[in-house]
Amino acid sequence: MTSAALLELRSVTKSFRGGGLIAVDDVSLEVGSSETVGVVGPSGAGKSTVARLVAGLLTPDAGAIVFEGTDLATLGDAERRAVRRRLHLVFQDPYTSLAGHLRVADLVAEPLVIHGACDRATRTDLVAEALAAVQLAPARYLTRWPHELSGGERQRVALARALVLRPRLVIADEPTAMLDPRARAELLELMAELQARLATAYLFITHDLAVADHFCDRLVVMSRGAVVEEGPTESVVTRPRHPATAALVDAARRLQAAVPA
Ligand SMILES: Nc1ncnc2c1ncn2[C@@H]1O[C@H](COP(=O)(O)OP(=O)(O)OP(=O)(O)O)[C@@H](O)[C@H]1O
Ligand SMILES: [Mg+2]
């Protein structure tokens, strides 16, 4: 079967503990080229499991994950590595997701090294370019260690790592959850800018509907492993149909009311 979507999940199921816990239950969703699709839902809904499945860190028990028209399960090792260059995962926690023993230059170069993407001189250029793209001046940041960076700066390094291979798809699992409001707004703005420049698609995972509302073209709402609602962001947010969505909308409103403007 061919598909125009960049990424397609077809009835994907994943369970843990010998099948005792179904974390992802018959989930189908699509992400188009340069589209931003938000996966939202309460804690434990299965969002991160979806991210890990798409990134190839987990394999589905049933169903198919189709990227650029190819079922990932049918790929051999070399082809799988080639696909890994084209989709990249950014994690939630900027304090554990960057290896502490590498300087910024090596952290950003690492994906290029792993994929043997280019020679040393080109690599140096691409690393500097990626850092500049996330607004970290190479002269100031190349030799820093992760512990010398703020949370927002760490997430920008993680984004530079994701973008240095110019992937078609970036899977971002709660990338702003640990950031303060200002660093959060900056990271989202940067992600939007880079998308406009590089035509990257985002699968953007969050439990925060205000963030999703601001950032996503379309939303997929998960609850207890299943997709319970999906649609254009505006209609999902303004006219939630499922109680799980309504609860997220309420939580976002309460939070907004609690924060002074
Ligand atoms: N490796 C694992 N082994 C066993 N159970 C797991 C594993 N990973 C996830 N789970 C379980 O699967 C369910 C879904 O977890 P998941 O991390 O996908 O939720 P989530 O929607 O990302 O939640 P949160 O918003 O808290 O990050 C949870 O019940 C979780 O305990
Ligand atoms: Mg999660």
Locate the ligand 1 atom nearest the alpha carbon of residue 41 and give its number.
21
Residue 4 confidence (pLDDT):
74
The reported pLDDT for the residue numbered 261 is 58
The pLDDT value given to residue 81: 86
pLDDT for 260:
64
Ligand 1 atom showing the smallest separation from residue 207 Cα: 25
In Å, how far are 100, 189, 198, 249, 251 from 233, measured between CA atoms? 37, 18, 22, 12, 16
Q: Which residue type sits at 153? A: E
- Terminal-to-terminal C-alpha distance of the chain: 50
Model confidence over 70-102: pLDDT tens digits? Answer: 999 999 988 988 888 889 888 877 778 888 899
Percentage of the chain beyond pLDDT 70 is 98
Mean pLDDT of the chain: 92
Q: How far is Cα 46 from Cα 43, in angstroms, rounded to an integer? A: 8
Give the domains, in start order, of the chain with CATH numbers.
30-57+87-258 (3.40.50.300)
Cβ of 44 less than 6 Å from ligand 1: yes
pLDDT digits 0-9 by tens, 195-228 = 999 999 999 999 899 999 999 999 999 999 999 9
In the chain, what percentage of residues exceed pLDDT 90?
79
**Considering only CA atoms, which residue is closest to atom 31 of ligand 1?**
44
16 lines ligand 1 (CB under 6 A): yes
Q: Ligand 1 pocket: which of 49, 58, 89, 203 to mutate (most atoms <8 Å of CB)?
A: 49
**Average pLDDT over every residue of 36-53:** 96
CB 17 less than 6 A from any atom of ligand 1: yes
Residue 3 has pLDDT above 60, yes or no: no
* Residue 60 contacts residue 10 (beta carbons within 8 Å): no
Query: Which residue has a Cα nearest atom 1 of ligand 1?
Result: 16
What pLDDT score does 237 carry? Answer: 96
Q: Residue 42's CB: how many other CB atoms inside 10 A? A: 15
8 A C-beta contact, residue 147 and residue 178: no
